[in-house]
Structure 1
Amino acid sequence: MREKRIVCFGDSNTWGYDVVTNGRFGKDVRYTGILQNLLEEYIVVEEGLCGRTAVFEDPLNEGMNGLKYLVPCLQSHSKIEWLTIMLGTNDCKERFSATAQNIADGVRRLIRTAKSLDVWETEPHILVITPPPIEKGCETSAVAGEMGVCSEKSSKLAKLYEVHTKNEGCYYINAGEFCKMNDIDYMHLDAESHKKLAMQIFQTIKNEV
């Protein structure tokens, strides 16, 4: 039987960061793990890295630029059926001085790079997910020094991502419509939101196939 792979490319919310334990949610809580249980005929590949950006080099942490890792990542897992991209939260950090449009354009670069690669089993199936907006409380939480002023910028991403995904012929989910960040650092998904996101991804894929 032919193996069918879904690569989930993202940051700490794809990795499954749990703010309560400062560790990782269990496999059955992470949206990627729930998705694996729902899509038994697929291999769901978790490619989440805490701190990952779409395209920006982080002067404080090496290896965070998603664009530089995307090509070898997809080539190592090829052939693939689906790619999900959920990035942008870290790009909102104040130290990058990026506008919301800059961040959306960075995600578009990821889309175009992925589409150009010879890694697809058939044709590119790319699902772009706008993460829920970073909430204002983040700017006075324990991670305020890391993130800086970021909530307003984050709230502008959904409309910009939607335009790019439509123009690039991708699938799209605005996770902010049904998910929320936790009430501690205000920038990571809570457990219930992982479950809701998995169900939305599942429905998108099942509706297509």
Structure 2
Amino acid sequence: MEEEKIIVCFGDSNTHGYDNKSGGRFNRFTRWPMVLQSLLGEEYLIREEGLSGRTTVFSDPLHESLSGVETIRPVLFTHEPVSLLIIMLGTNDVKARFSATAENISRGLDRLIKKAKAAEDAFLHQKVNILVVAPYPIDEEYMETSVGNDMGEGCAEKSRKLSKLYREIAMLNHCHFLSAEEIPGMENYPYDYMHLSPKAHKALAEALAERMDTYLS
């Protein structure tokens, strides 16, 4: 019997499944990694590696252990052999306290990808296959909600610039690429305008499932 293909979903609260209506977490029937699991079936094993507040490379002065580049290697080692690593990060990187431009954030993604690829020797020379998903942009209305003061100003504008820059970084690193902004049905929940709605989780999972053969080739 052929072994299951392991897919690691490495992201932030929008991968963890934060429900900004209740302040809790969406159930497994709603979170996009688990919806993807149901769509792909038993030939695949989806591993959820979402962490609220996670960034590409930035260390948060208010919360520890949120830099993706510091944890990507042990995550890959834990779940090897990994058939596909899906990276969807950048939403937290736009926070004002990091003082990072969209270009800075894309360079953080580049560093994260290179750190993941450097783990290849630990997989008996298995190639680390990576899909970069540019996160769905933050809506301007976020500043009018409870997250506005924590995020700071200018976040929506920076988040809209990430897709184009991420596409270029993915191409340079020979990674697959998908922009969440281009998927029909994507939207933010109207409670803070930066976390995905249940409808968006489903739309993202369906888009990934439709393209999975391409990503694994």
State the TM-score, normalized to the length of structure 1.
0.96
Structure-2 separation of matches of 1:39 and 1:105: 32
Number of the residue aligned with 1:43: 45
- Distance in 1, Cα, partners of 2:162 & 2:78: 30
Partner of 2:7: 6
SS in 1 for 2:47: strand
Q: Residue type of the partner of 1:49?
A: L
Query: What's the % identity of the aligned pairs?
Result: 45
Matched to 2:105, the amino acid is I
1:120 offset after TM fit, Å?
4.9
Give 1:184-203 correspondences, 5 Å limit.
184-203=191-210
For structure 1, list consecutive stretches of 5 or more residues without a partner in the other structure. Answer: none
Cα shift at 1:25: 0.8
Give 1:124 shift.
2.4
Whole-angstrom distance in 1 between the partners of 2:10 and 2:168: 20
CA displacement, residues 26-74 of structure 1 (integer Å, 9 cap, x when unaligned): 1111100111111221110000000001100000001111110111111
1:167 paired to 2:169: no
Unaligned runs of 5+ in 2: none
Structure 1 letter corresponding to 2:197: D
Query: SS where residue 187 of structure 1 aligns?
Result: coil
Q: Aligned to 2:52, what secondary structure does the other structure show?
A: coil
The size of the alignment, in residue pairs, is 209
Corresponding letter in the other structure for 1:54: T
Over the residues paired in the alignment, what is the CA RMSD in angstroms? Answer: 1.3
Deviation per CA, 1:53-109: give whole Å up to 9, x if none.
110000000111111011111111111100000000000000000000000111111
Once residues 148 and 123 of structure 1 are traced to their aligned partners in structure 2, the CA distance between those partners, rounded to angstroms, is 39
Distance 1:183 1:9 in 2: 24
Report the CA distance between 1:186 and its aligned residue: 0.6
Alignment of 1:8-157 (within 5 A): 8-40=9-41, 41-118=43-120, 120=123, 122-149=126-153, 150-157=155-162
Equivalent position amino acid for 2:38 in 1: N
**CA distance, structure 1, for counterparts of residue 171 and residue 210 of structure 2:** 19
